[in-house]
Amino acid sequence: MRVLVVDDEVDLANAVAKGLRREGYAVDVAGSGRDALDALGYTEYDLICLDLTMPGIDGIEVCRQVRAKEGPQPRVLMLTARDSVGDRVAGLDIGADDYLVKPFAFPELAARVRTLLRRDTPHHSAVLQVGPLLLDSARRTVRRGSRDLELTAKEFALLRYFMTHPGEVLSQERLLEHVWDTNADPFTNTVRVTVGTLRRKLSVDDEPGLLETVIGSGYRLVADPVPG
């Protein structure tokens, strides 16, 4: 999942981004409302961690412009030192999905991010299940049947995205957009290589394959694999 952290407190923004990357998210950072709107103009984010109080274009205005656009809408988690009822109501009324008051503990922020992103999935649970696969976002574990899978952070993030879109053909461009951040080179074969290593870890010996390559289109996670 692709996350944009927006905060003019550079140290805080970088700390939040670092923590979310450890959780397996692709994270970009914007230090102002203007930078956030520029990033949102060319990247489709799944969630925005948005500071309410910033000089110039503040979080309220960023959220207002995000909600005014047509097309897929990111979740918005408002982060702010303002803790009055009026401030919370203003943020939620303009389109924020949740509100977290500074200072906050990172585990709570991570839990709220997981909760907001689960709203896009069929089951509002930290656990995703597709066919024989069971992924627990909170515990960061993956099983295929009785077998535990050892995945890297990027493989975990990639599998989580596939499992929130079972049966869909996902292009390399879409995977790069949602699973990698702006540091990823779009002209490399990073998606193909990571899909390949993930495919090998998902299926060993005589287990049916779970990740299909759809030639010319992308990749698909098979919900009901056919035994070979």
- Span 10-23, pLDDT tens digits: 999 999 999 999 88
Q: Quote the pTM value.
A: 0.69
- Span 154-213, pLDDT tens digits: 999 899 999 988 899 999 989 988 888 877 777 678 899 999 999 999 988 778 889 999
For residue 178, count CB atoms less than 10 angstroms from its CB and return exposed for 0-12, middle for 13-18, buried for 19 or more: buried
% of the chain beyond a pLDDT of 70: 94
Helix (H, G, I), strand (E, B) or coil at 68: helix
CA 202 to chain centroid, in Å, comes to: 21
Q: Kindly state the helix (H) or strand (E) to which residue 98 belongs, with its residue range.
A: strand 98-101
Q: What structural domains and CATH numbers belong to the chain?
A: 2-118 (3.40.50.2300), 127-221 (1.10.10.10)
Strand partners, 80: 101
31 touches 13 (CB < 8 A) = yes
Residues whose CB falls within 8 Å of the CB of residue 59, separated by 6 or more in sequence, listed in order: 6, 33, 50, 51, 52, 53, 78, 80, 91
Give the full edge-to-edge strand order of the sheet including 218-221. 169-170, 218-221, 211-214
